[in-house]
Structure 1
Amino acid sequence: MSLSTSVIPLVLTVLLGTTAVAQSRTPLVRERKARQLTLHAEEPPVLLPLHVAAHEVTTVTFDAPIVPESVDRSVLAPFFSRVSVHEDVLVLKASMDVPVGKEPVITVRFAGAGIPAQVGFVLTTVAAEVDSQVEVFRQGRTAQDLGKELADLRARCAVTEAGLATLRAQCALRGLGGAVLMGDVTREGVTVDYLPELPVSMGMTAIGPHVLYRSASTRALSTSLLNPEGSAPWTPGFARMTPRGPNVHGMPVRELPLLMQVKQLAPGARATVVVEWRALPELPVGTHFTLELLDAKGERGVRWEQGVP
């Protein structure tokens, strides 16, 4: 037998072994899950599992304020590259799969009175799935609570749909010619102003300039929103205009669709947001509006205390 002939089986064995190792190292594709967890005061406390995985972000939201300092970051440091704790949000990004037998345990304490006072989590890695979004409800909701929430959502959807109907009609007549036909642009033209007041942050940051476009019948506000690093993804929802002043009794609160070219803002991302509304008729002296740009849940956004009618 020649030397070259004897080497061939050895080379094949090495190659096959290398292929087997490479196949065994093929990364797992885990299903991203969204879950809801409800805490019950009458039940004994138990550790709730959170499924984390290497390089995946797990966002945990709470329906009640929490104490950020209650989360022990030191036990998470060996396994996580990002740990962000806010008033009602916990954001985790694992740097590795958690080894079996080394699962860290954390306790999140709620702020203020009420029970349960805290909730415990054990962070594990499983092969099939990873928790992408977890909502934690401190108190179980009754059928009556759910019915009220559904009614509120239906009312909000009706208001939003009315606004969208107007926008659809406008989109059907696009461009400057369409704006003229719709009466949004007249021979009086369009004026441009800037809101000098800095908006109040409600978990988002507005970056100027805050440009207000005025025509004879329409107003439009354009600004840039920044979703801070470590926050949950932000989905545009609606703008809320609330009348303020001594003579606003009977004036409705208006909710208007938010326009944004992207569907969602990732942490650290920014985008232009526009809200449009019809000009209001003569208003009582001293009337002003609070203008809020909010996410789909009506929770995170920015607010101008002295909005323009």
Structure 2
Amino acid sequence: MSLSTSIIPLVLAVLVGTTAVAQSRTPVGRERKARQLTLRAEEPPVLHPLHVAAHEVTTVTFDAPIVPESVDRSVLTPFFSRVAVHEDVLVLKASMDIPAGKEPVLTVRFAGSGAPARVAFVLTTVTAEVDSQVEVLRQGRTAQDLGKELADLRARCVATEAGLATLRAQCALRGLGGAVLMGDVTREGVEVTYLPDPSLSPGMTAKRPHVLYRTESTRALSISLFNAAGSTPWIPGFARMTPRGPSALPAREFPLLIQVKQLAPGEQATVVVEWHALPDLPAGTNVTLELLDVKGERGVRWEEVAP
């Protein structure tokens, strides 16, 4: 047997082995899932599966405050490169797929009284999917709760649609010429003022400056919003303006203008809200101005703004 003939089987064996190793290291495509998990006080405690995967981020949000110290990080360290626990959110990034038979159990305790007092997850890896977002509801909402939420959403849609109708009419008349033609800019010019830092900013940070543009008929506030690393994505919602004092006038809502669909954790973008002067407000009446996400929960708030 010649030397070249004897080497061929060895080379083939090495190539086949190399191919097998390469195939075993190829990541499996998994579908990213977003789902809800409803806990009920009358049900016995069970382990809820939480599907994680190597290099994938899994975000778990809670509708009630949790105790961050209740999360045992030591059981997660061997499998996760990132573990972030906040008042109502848990962020996990796995460094590897969880080996079969070594699935860690994660227990999260809720703050305060109420039932259930805790929720437990078993962290596993499956071939088909990975949990990207899981919303944990401590108490299931009743039909009455859902009906009220639907009515609120419909009312909000009506208010937002009214604001969008004005914006659509302006879209065909862009630029300074369009603003002059629409009467938004007159020979009186544009006055520029600056708002102080927000009095409240649940889950978000407003970077200075907070610029308020005023013309004879129109106002526009421009701010730079930052979504902190470790938070959930911020999806733009609406601005709410509530008159202060004894006027008892209803709150108004306006659409937010932003060039991105959402702010991922660690991202920053300019947000603008525009409204017309409010002649029905009594002289000297200030408003509370809020810029919020689609759920009306996270955003920034100013308590005393001259509209």
Matches within 5 A, 1:262-273: 262-273=260-271
What RMSD in Å do the two structures reach over aligned CA positions? 1.4
Indicate the larger mover: 19-28 or 8-17.
Answer: 8-17
Give the structure 1 partner of residue 11 of structure 2: 11
Matches within 5 A, 1:93-104: 93-104=93-104
CA apart distance, 1:68 = 1.6
1:89-148 C-alpha deviation (Å, 9 max, x unpaired): 111111111111221112211122211111111111111100001111111122222121
Contact 1:199–1:206 (8 Å) recurs in 2: no
Distance (whole Å) between structure 2 residues aligned to residue 126 and residue 5 of structure 1: 45
2:276 corresponds to which letter in structure 1?
A: R
Contact 1:40–1:140 (8 Å) recurs in 2: yes
Same amino acid, percent of matched pairs: 82
Matches within 5 A, 1:12-31: 12-31=12-31
1:138-179 C-alpha deviation (Å, 9 max, x unpaired): 111222221211111111111111111111111121111111
Aligned length: 307
Give the structure 2 partner of residue 193 of structure 1: 193
CA apart distance, 1:287 = 2.0
Indicate the larger mover: 162-171 or 212-221.
Answer: 162-171
Give the structure 1 partner of residue 247 of structure 2: 248
Matches within 5 A, 1:172-251: 172-245=172-245, 247-249=246-248, 251=249
Contact 2:240–2:252 (8 Å) recurs in 1: yes
Distance (whole Å) between structure 2 residues aligned to residue 190 and residue 35 of structure 1: 47
For the residue of structure 2 that corresponds to 1:202, the secondary structure is coil
1:165-221 C-alpha deviation (Å, 9 max, x unpaired): 111111121111111121111111111111134442211000010000111111000
Indicate the larger mover: 29-38 or 98-107.
Answer: 98-107
Q: Can you give the 5+ residue segments of structure 2 that lack an aligned partner in the other structure?
A: none
Give the structure 2 partner of residue 278 of structure 1: 276
Matched, 1:53 2:48: no
Give the structure 2 partner of residue 122 of structure 1: 122
For the residue of structure 2 that corresponds to 1:201, the secondary structure is coil
CA apart distance, 1:285 = 4.7
Superposition TM-score, scaled by structure 1 size: 0.95
Structure 1 residue runs of 4 or more that deviate by more than 4 Å after TM superposition: none
Contact 2:197–2:206 (8 Å) recurs in 1: no
CA apart distance, 1:9 = 3.0
1:260 corresponds to which letter in structure 2?
A: I
Give the structure 1 partner of residue 36 of structure 2: 36
Distance (whole Å) between structure 2 residues aligned to residue 72 and residue 7 of structure 1: 55
The change in CA–CA distance for 1:151 and 1:51 in structure 2 (over 3 A counts) is same
Distance (whole Å) between structure 2 residues aligned to residue 9 and residue 218 of structure 1: 81
For the residue of structure 2 that corresponds to 1:43, the secondary structure is coil
Matched, 1:302 2:307: no
Q: Can you give the 5+ residue segments of structure 1 that lack an aligned partner in the other structure?
A: none
2:6 corresponds to which letter in structure 1?
A: S
Superposition TM-score, scaled by structure 2 size: 0.96
1:108 corresponds to which letter in structure 2?
A: V
